[in-house]
Structure 1
Amino acid sequence: MSGIHVRALRPEDHDAVAALTLASYVDGGHIDPDSAYVRTLTDVASRAEKAEVLVAELDGQVVGSVVLTPLGSPMAETAVEGEYEFRMLAVHPDHHRRGVARALMAAIVERARALPGIEAIALTTMPTMTDAHRLYERMGFVRLPERDWHLRDVVPDLDPADEAGPFIVYRMPLG
């Protein structure tokens, strides 16, 4: 993780984070470019208003980001009592396999361990994100198929074309 610096998002990072998130999700083949979710992926200002966002810098360039969404956060999706959650972990494809995701994950684990009452970290991922699954599993996350979910379960009037699920849930005990 040499040379990678993780820090809080700043307003001047919004464009870079929008671009790298779009590249990660759309160019990475996980979200259709015509999906309504593209708007959410690129709206960094809105997520920064609702949650803490971290960025990873490499050689002075923002190359990764993650949204911290502990239980009670307006952006939380899957956390239950005692769990810390994160979402939208994204690394620009030009910087894959350079330790960026691992550096962001280390920051998440550090924050979760510092909070009283937190015994695990939970996350939701997509079936197509197999590289991320391997990283999570190497770090000690365990798949919880009984907690998988679909967008249609939380958005009743969802256009079937926008259903990207099932969303896969992983959890890592901090003990």
Structure 2
Amino acid sequence: MRTRRARPGDLESVGEVTVAAYAEFAGGNTAGYVRHLRDAATRDREAELWVATPDDTEEILGTVTITPPGSPWREVSRDGEGEFRMLAVSPQARGTGVGATLVDLVVERFRTDGATAVVMSTLAAMQSAQRIYRRAGFVRDPDRDWSPAPGIDLVTYRLDLGATP
């Protein structure tokens, strides 16, 4: 498996993978949220969109949005911290290490940039994703939990980049 920045020709597939990955969690949400998930072009323009592909094809197995300082996609990070959003793995690729590979990419990116920590929020119901984050060394940061809309509760995780997982 390899990771790379998304290319213009990837954006439609990235949007579809993101929608498919979040489908079981977006059930009662509005069509607006599905449009938000599908809009990979805006994420790529306003942040950094990365993908995981097999070594031998360009199939999009998963994606993550890295939000550098100044990106409007940042939600819970503080000065000196990295943040990522919308980590999504194709349902057909779950359990193959795609999520862990993308988390490793994010952590290494921010470590190289000199960040003190990496933070992210996830739906409380996304237990499989939370297991990946915990295995990578992330710990809950309940002081930053928040709700962007009624009935949508997000929990926050933080990885101190001075710590070893």
TM (norm. structure 2) is: 0.92
1:166 aligns with 2:153: yes
Distance 2:140 2:29 in 1: 29
Q: 1:6 Cα deviation (Å)?
A: 0.2
Greater mean deviation of Cα atoms: 63-72 or 121-130: 63-72
Gaps in structure 1 of 5+ consecutive residues? 153-162
Show CA shifts across 1:71-117 (max 9, x none).
3211101101121000000000100010111111111111101113x
Asked if 1:125 is matched to 2:122, the reply is yes
The amino acid that maps onto 2:25 is: H
Q: Residues 39-62 of structure 1, C-alpha deviation per residue, up to 9 Å, x if partnerless?
A: 100011111110110000024111
Tell me which of the two structures has the higher relative contact order, counting C-alpha pairs closer than 8 angstroms and 6 or more residues apart: 1
Q: Tell whether the 8 Å contact from 2:48 to 2:68 is kept in structure 1 after alignment.
A: no
- Aligned equivalent of 1:156: none
Moved over 4 A (4+): none
Does 34-43 or 46-55 show the bigger shift?
Answer: 34-43
Give, in whole Å, the separation in 2 of the partners of 1:6 and 1:151.
Answer: 30
Whether 2:136 is the aligned partner of 1:149: answer: no
1:71·1:79 contact (CA, 8 Å) conserved in 2? Answer: no
- Structure 2 distance, partners of 1:143, 1:34, is 25
SS, match of residue 105 in structure 1: helix
Match of 2:145, as an amino acid?
D
Instruction: Please tell me whether the aligned partners of residues 68 and 83 of structure 2 are also in contact (alpha carbons under 8 angstroms).
Output: yes
SS across alignment from 1:7 = strand
Alignment length, in residue pairs?
159
Sequence identity percentage:
40
Q: Residues of 1 paired with 2:81 and 2:138: CA distance?
A: 13
CA contact (8 A) 2:123 2:152 kept: yes
TM-score, normalized by length of structure 1?
A: 0.87
1:76 pairs with one of 61, 74, 77? 74
